[in-house]
Chains A and B, each alone.
Chain A
Amino acid sequence: MNKKHRMFVRMVLASLIRRRSRMIVALLAVVVGATILSGLGLIYYDVPRQMSAQFRSYGANVIFTPSGDSYITDDEIKKAVSVFPSDKLEGYTPYRYENSKLNNLPVTLAGTDFSSVLKTSPYWHISGELPDGNGKTLVGKKLAEKFGFSTGDSFSMLNSFQVTDDTDLSVIPDYEIYTDPQTGEKYCDHMLDLSLSGILETGGPEEEYIYVTLDDLSALMRSDRGCDLAEVSVAAREEELKGYLDDINNGSGNLTAKPVKRVTASESTVLSKLESLVLIVTAVVLALTMICVATTMMAVIAERRREIGLRKALGALDSSIILEFLSEGLVLGAVGGITGSLLGYLFANTVSMNVFSSAITFRPLLIPVAIIVSVAVTGLACLIPIRSAVDVDPALVLKGE
């Protein structure tokens, strides 16, 4: 390093250290700008993903139905859901519907998996508890009102079927056989005892069903025929979802995957609005903040007109003065940019934890962007007052005019 360079470095450092309070002011301005840049940037990039997860509270956005007239089996469902990336799959719930009778009135029985039902229908309001195993049931509110059921009650579901010589009765725990006096045909009454764990309120048709486990329903119906449909909740946007569904529909033969248009189409409408909201807010706030940073820098530099005048009087070249001030700006921009991007990350993370209860994805690319923007804004903001100071006759500047 030759003498000239060493002197240059010393001047830059000395100016940063000696004029501490001014430099703190300038640095603070840059840090604020960089914090807002990286904080809002991170939020902007992460909001669609986080919001998309929130939209899963609308429940299932994909439905599996049998392709033909048959039913879908557990294995087929498992195979189909394996197409979705595991971090995007919120959950899936199989449903099997059967008509049955309760106190001689027709009711619909639905067999399902209670452990996953709240993943695909998070909006279910259950007074009491969600059944946690066989022999327990969840009854729709309207049906419960009709039969006068309340939580803790017990009742039995009845399935009557004709008994022939081939009928295997060993699978049924308790039954009663009687003979029709007119035809001589034998019938079996199979009972399923259920205790009522909870009452379901949804405001929809679900309020008219009795929900039991798939095992209980298979036992009552004496067949494990598979399911009528499966609801799947996937944290993916309409387009992305379409790709997965095409994969499923092309791959497996017996199962059709359809998007629930009401949920997927509305989600993309609302999400795109939200995204553009955050984008434009970010743009407006960033633009204003950057101008703010620039005016502060200009004020800090303008104050040093006397110094510039003195240097010119001592014979400094315009270019070397400009270079020195720009280097100061560069150092400020870099230090402010790094500090700001870390603070911005902390801020964005706090926002994310508070709003979405999950950490924000850190994007390393934002650090260089924040530094480059900070340096550019600081540099530009320095350049304007320096140029005007440099252009002026040193005598006038020193005189204070």
Chain B
Amino acid sequence: MFFRMIIGAFRRQWKKMLMIALTVALGASIATAMLNVMLDVGDKINEELKAYGSNITVVPNSQAVMSDLYDVEEDEKKDEYLAEETLGEFLTIFWANNITDFAPVLDTVVTVDGNEVQLIGTWFDHHFEFKKKGTVYQRDTGIINLRSWWDITDGEWLDEAKLSGDDYAMIGKKLSETLGVKAGDKIKVKGAKGTEELEITGIFESGDDEENCIFTPLSAAQRISGAEGKYKKAEVSAITSPDDELAVKAARNPDLLSGDEYDLWYCTAYVSSICFQIQEAIPDASARAVRQIADSEGKILEKTELLMALITLMSLIGATLGISNLVTSSVMERSAELALMKAVGAKNGQITLLVLTEIILTAVVGAAAGYFMGYGFAQVIGQSVFSSAIEMSGMVAFLVTVLIIAVTLVGSIPAVRMILRLRPSEVLHGGH
């Protein structure tokens, strides 16, 4: 009898039930889309923040203090290097998948047309393969992603895969003006170990000191400077978690952490734990966080996540109020029908059970439809903003189900209370 009544209710009132299901579906889709976007926004923004370039630099352990950038008079400057083979170790650390890009840097001073110029050997868009213990690691990486702010004003990016040989260079705009050269021209550079003729593939504008430099593939720079198989510094761009208390504590001295804290720290993608793992993998190297990038990333991420969380909260409140509202009004509307049931002897409990079952069934159907709609909306947001899919979390499906059932039940409370108060004679008579 119970089932017949429920099936009957759906058949007779399918329009109303459809309306409830539709509203529940809309609410559920808001909840699904917003929760998924909120959970994934950190990763997405983190990827965008990679535009600022590397957040970790790796240098030889005992690199002489006086070096790069400022021309300090050097008496006994001895350059220190890292071996090129160590570059592969970046791909073997625990958080290797969080390293989005890395590139070696080998700088040396060369003479071009009588001008002293800094020449930097690096990877542009390098296909890198590394074999260790039978595993082959490979990655396409280089400064093309670590210098997103460069404007190529003439020519194009140096394409290592397409060009044969390595006698190519990209030069800064200022230097190109000093030398009076353009893309396609050849320049003669004289280094410590020889002279080479390099063809300029592109001229870039960077707004900093690099505009006075020549960039060549690493192998060319190694030949010119005589540092075969070596590099001086590596720039690493990694997706990291914002620093918290544990990270600050670990940054002072990882040895002071308790066992559990150490494990948690090691297995969280803090910039300090990634640096630590790089140093573990390459004992000769010292990896340091570039504070300007690492700290700011943390702040921006934190703010964005909090903002999205609050917007999500607001939409959830809106969605739940909308659903419970509709449930309340649709049950109230049936007062005449319910009063009739009471009049023919139905007990309060039975009527409540009947109403709740109907509503919950409708809500579940709506929620299921809403989940898939929400999936669609989340992907629309992901594709149109970040041009990549939003990862769907299984937790969200669970949360949305629980939320919708809870909201529907809560929304039914005023209606159920009304049913319990109903006096059949009054209702059937038409007085409200």
Contacts and interface: CB of A to CB of B under 8 A. Distances in A.
Q: Would you call the interface of chain B mostly helix, strand, loop, or mixed?
A: helix
Given A289-B30, A351-B307, A355-B303, A295 B19 contact: yes
A263 B306 CA distance: 23
B154 interface: no
Interface string B134-151: 000000000000001111
B295 A146 contact: no
Interface string A197-215: 0000111110010000000
B65 A54 contact: no
Across chains A and B, which 9 residue pairs bring their CB atoms closest together, nearest first? A261-B207, A265-B149, A292-B322, A266-B51, A303-B333, A57-B296, A203-B290, A123-B291, A123-B295
B68 interface: yes
B208 to A, nearest CB: 7
A21 interface: yes
A201 B300 contact: no
A24 to B, nearest CB: 9
B381 A284 contact: yes
B74 interface: yes
Contacts of B300: 51, 54-55, 57, 270
A244 to B, nearest CB: 16
Contacts of A201: 291
Interface in B1-29: 16, 19-20, 22-23, 26-27, 29
A205 B51 contact: no
A82 interface: no
A113 B289 CA distance: 25
Contacts of A280: 380-381, 384-385
Given A32-B318, A276-B385, A288 B291 contact: no
B292 interface: yes
Interface of B: 16, 19-20, 22-23, 26-27, 29-30, 33-34, 37, 41, 45, 48-49, 51-53, 56-57, 65-70, 72-75, 148-151, 205-208, 288-296, 299-300, 303-304, 306-308, 310-311, 314-315, 317-319, 321-323, 325-326, 328-330, 332-333, 377, 380-381, 384-386, 432
Given A54-B299, A281-B311, A298-B19, A266 B322 contact: no
B45 A274 contact: yes
A203 B288 contact: yes
Given A124-B291, A203-B288, A285 B72 contact: no
A33 to B, nearest CB: 8
Nearest to A274: B304
A106 interface: yes
Nearest to A141: B288
A170 interface: no
A203 B310 contact: no
B16 A32 contact: no
A40 B385 contact: no
A203 B55 CA distance: 9
Nearest to B292: A123
A308 to B, nearest CB: 14
A273 B48 contact: yes
A262 interface: yes
B332 A22 contact: yes
A12 interface: no
A29 B411 CA distance: 13
Interface string A34-49: 0110011001000100
A88 to B, nearest CB: 19
A125 interface: yes
A29 B325 contact: yes
Contacts of A300: 329
B31 to A, nearest CB: 10
A22 B304 CA distance: 39
Contacts of A277: 37, 41, 308, 381, 385-386
B292 A204 contact: yes
B318 A36 contact: yes
7 contacts: A35-B318, A51-B303, A97-B70, A201-B291, A205-B68, A295-B326, A300-B329
